Amino acid sequence: MPKQFAVIGLGRFGSSVARALCKEGCEVLAIDEREDLIKEISDSVTQAVQLDATDEKSLKAVGIKDVDCAIVSIGQKVQDSILVTILLKEMGIPRIVTKASNPLHGRVLEKVGADRVVFPERDMGTRVAHSLITPTVLEEIELSPGHNMMEFKTPPEFVGKTLSQLDLRAKYGANVVAIRQGIPQVDKAGKVKIVEKVNVTPKADDRICEDDILVIIGQEENLSKLEKHFQRAG
């Protein structure tokens, strides 16, 4: 069954996330108080509704409580974004992602219940959509048209296997160019700290550990197939 999302606020960022989620086969409820934005996106999402998202009764009436994740992308109305985040938290929405306009706004949103805070200048809408569908994907960077670099959390099925056994190049046309690992170290005070070590020349017999981050390069379509594999596994 497709994942269900609500996107509240259909500016450039919100509409980008909503369209990207629908393209990935998800059900999307798009919400905005502006009629023109609702008309503009209505053919690209599952359902588009014009309403004031700060009105709790209106939110409940459109079935907001049924979604798996809500993305709050309200423009410059800082107070409204905070209020909507609180309402969604009180309704028991499993995951709430809220757009912040600045770091202070972001800290407030975290305190009132946002599970993730994003900054549009730093997080492109489509990239956020991918990470919501596939939490295994930590980062995606376009290197050139058609070629991307992604950072993946190691899925359970990879743990204990070597790069040779995984053979991602043959299966997905993807190349592991680095492995990020957290190595526990004891400092002078006797405290254990996790120090990041990056293997920038991974070999075929290097074995993957549970918390490793794999940095993979490949064609966009091949990496998309790898993402879908992780989605099915998750």
Indicate if the alpha-carbon torsion angle 17, 22, 23, 25 is positive or negative. Answer: positive
Task: Give, to the nearest 10 degrees, the angle between helix 12-23 and helix 125-133.
Answer: 40
Q: What CA–CA distance (Å, rounded) separates 73 from 148?
A: 26
Instruction: List strand residue ranges (DSSP E) for the chain, in order.
Output: 4-8, 27-32, 47-50, 69-72, 95-99, 116-118, 137-144, 147-153, 174-186, 192-199, 213-219
Residues 98 and 205 occupy one common structural domain: no
What's the number of domains the chain is made of?
2
> What is the percentage of the chain residues whose pLDDT exceeds 70?
84
Residues 145 and 198 occupy one common structural domain: yes
pLDDT, residue 134, reads: 62
Residues 160 and 185 occupy one common structural domain: yes
Q: Which of 133, 168, 192 is the last residue of a domain?
A: 133
Residues 73 and 184 occupy one common structural domain: no
Residues 9 and 77 occupy one common structural domain: yes
Q: What CA–CA distance (Å, rounded) separates 134 from 104?
A: 28
Q: Is the pLDDT of residue 74 over 70?
A: yes
pLDDT, residue 141, reads: 65
pLDDT, residue 1, reads: 45
Residues 75 and 33 occupy one common structural domain: yes
Residues 110 and 199 occupy one common structural domain: no
Please state, as a whole number, how many other Cβ atoms lie within 10 Å of the Cβ of residue 136.
20
Residues 54 and 169 occupy one common structural domain: no
Residues 129 and 174 occupy one common structural domain: no
Q: Is the pLDDT of residue 210 over 60?
A: yes
Expressed as residue numbers, the domain containing 219 is 137-233
pLDDT, residue 187, reads: 73
When pLDDT is averaged across residues 74-78 and rounded to a whole number, the result is 80
Residues 68 and 160 occupy one common structural domain: no
Which amino acid belongs to residue 11? G
**pTM beyond 0.85:** no
Question: What is the strand order of the sheet 116-118 is part of?
Answer: 47-50, 27-32, 4-8, 69-72, 95-99, 116-118
Q: Which of 133, 167, 195 is the last residue of a domain?
A: 133
pLDDT, residue 111, reads: 92
pLDDT digits (tens, 9 = 90+) for 181-206: 877 677 777 777 766 677 877 889 99
Among the listed residues 166, 195, 163, 160, the one whose alpha carbon sits nearest the alpha carbon of residue 179: 163
Q: Which of 74, 108, 133 is the last residue of a domain?
A: 133
Name the maximum alpha-carbon separation found in the chain. 62
pLDDT, residue 224, reads: 81
Residues 37 and 127 occupy one common structural domain: yes
Q: What is the mean pLDDT of the chain?
A: 84
Q: Is the pLDDT of residue 31 over 90?
A: yes
pLDDT digits (tens, 9 = 90+) for 33-50: 999 999 999 999 999 999
> pLDDT: is 156 or 88 the higher one?
88
Domain CATH for 57: 3.40.50.720
pLDDT, residue 77, reads: 81
Q: Are residues 176 and 216 in contact, defined by beta-carbon separation less than 8 angstroms? A: yes
When pLDDT is averaged across residues 158-182 and rounded to a whole number, the result is 88
Residues 8 and 97 occupy one common structural domain: yes
Question: What's 126's DSSP letter?
Answer: H
Helix (H/G/I), strand (E/B), else coil: 86: helix
